[in-house]
Amino acid sequence: MKQIDGANLSIHELQEHFQNSLMRLSNLTCMVLIAFEFILCFLKYGIQLMPADMEFDRYIRFYLIRPIVALLLLASFNGLFYLKSKRGELLHTSIPLSFLSEVLTIIIAVHYRYPVIYCIMVFPVLMSTVYGSEKVLRRVFLVEMIGLLLDTFYIHVFTDFFSRPPYFNMSLTLVLVISLISLLFVRYSIRFEKYKLMKMSEELVRNKNLEVENKELEQDSRMDGLSKLPNYKYLVETANKWVATKSDICFCMIDLDDFKKVNDTMGHEFGNVVIYILSRELEKLSNENIFVARYGGEEFGILTTGLTEDEVFRIMDDCRQRFSQRKYRETSKQNTFSGGISSYRKNMAVTDLFKAADKMLYEAKSSGKNCIFYSKNSGTNVDI
């Protein structure tokens, strides 16, 4: 027997296991009720339960044997249909309601003298609403109609005409009409719920797409189009976040040397190529502790955390040397950049951090360019 743990089974297998358990429980319940009925009938106090004007053998025949045989036949038919359906289309969810229809069929056949109970046949159809499936609804309705036909056949063939209640045929017709109305009501209820579910799904998809679009727009608003690096706005946001949550914050501002001359002599298209190449070189530095952004124009900002000024200087110096050695097809001249590094101090505004780095950058430019200045070499003409 397969062990059910719910972890390695599909929904279909879990559903099949549930239906098998339900059928076993139903069969066990039937056998217990049958045994209990036999015991009551053969005990002295059980015999007193039958009507006073009915013979004992007729009571056994009418209230015990016929209902039990009919229920077993109907249950067997349902079980055979279930076994057959396992090789074809599986409608497991309709089995409990089909079995309920069979039980109600037997109840009506036994207590046909009370037409009011005929209406209980519509209960399985109404209950099929919870499954939300028109296939289940059709099968339950079919079983219900078969049950009504069997009740009609049984009452006309095996009962006395004078024992039937008044307006018997009218009562059966009324039950049929109510069943048809119930079928239409449940059918359109299922379709309406599916329609609402479809609209909700479409709304969810639209909201999801809108959320993705908003994220893309937000991402685009934070990125620079030419360099494909974060822009100044994103740099400020990140700097404010880092100074509040991280330590050892440094900022390096770099600027391409003589970039106006490059644009004037080589053209702006070539100037854009230089910016793009420098952006890719800087992008290689980016990690969880180094944030690279385009500050504006030919200026770039590098925000770091967990690094000293000396370490930042060495990183940027290596980057400067690699970029200055880059060759271009359009010209034999090399392009360089200068930089300035500042450190964050307590209660220091982000703008002040940027200004301090800009001041170091100004000193680097004044000292011959193609160099990087920070606190230790500030004021000294050091050509790296």
Give the tens place of pLDDT for each residue, 28-52: 655 665 566 566 555 544 445 555 5
For residues 342-355, give the mean pLDDT: 92
Res. 371 pLDDT band, cuts 50 70 90: very high
Of 334, 332, 231, give the one whose Cα is nearest residue 274.
334
CB 371 within 8 A of CB 364: yes
For residues 189-201, give the mean pLDDT: 84
pLDDT at 236: 93
Q: How many residues does the chain have?
A: 384
d(CA 337, CA 373): 12
Res. 75 pLDDT band, cuts 50 70 90: low
Higher pLDDT, 300 or 82: 300
> What's 172's DSSP letter?
H
Res. 353 pLDDT band, cuts 50 70 90: very high
pLDDT at 36: 63
pLDDT in tens, 136-161: 788 888 878 887 887 777 777 777 76
Higher pLDDT, 243 or 65: 243
Percent of the chain predicted with pLDDT > 70: 70
pLDDT at 211: 84
pLDDT for 53 beyond 90: no
Of 216, 368, 234, 220, give the one whose Cα is nearest residue 303.
234
pLDDT at 147: 78
Query: What superfamily does domain 232-373 belong to in CATH?
Result: Reverse transcriptase/Diguanylate cyclase domain (3.30.70.270)
φ, ψ of residue 338 to 5 degrees: the values are -115, 160
For residues 340-368, give the mean pLDDT: 92
d(CA 286, CA 211): 27
The whole-chain average pLDDT of the chain stands at 78
Cα-Cα end-to-end distance for the chain: 79
Burial of residue 218 (number of CB atoms within 10 Å: 0-12, 13-18, 19+):
exposed
pLDDT in tens, 273-297: 999 999 999 999 999 999 999 998 8
Burial of residue 373 (number of CB atoms within 10 Å: 0-12, 13-18, 19+):
buried
Of 259, 369, 244, 357, give the one whose Cα is nearest residue 382.
369
Tell me the β-bridge partners of 199. none
Question: How is the chain split into domains, by residue range?
Answer: 11-201, 232-373
Higher pLDDT, 255 or 381: 255
In 10 A of CB 225, how many CB atoms?
A: 9
pLDDT in tens, 228-261: 899 999 999 999 999 988 889 999 999 999 999 9
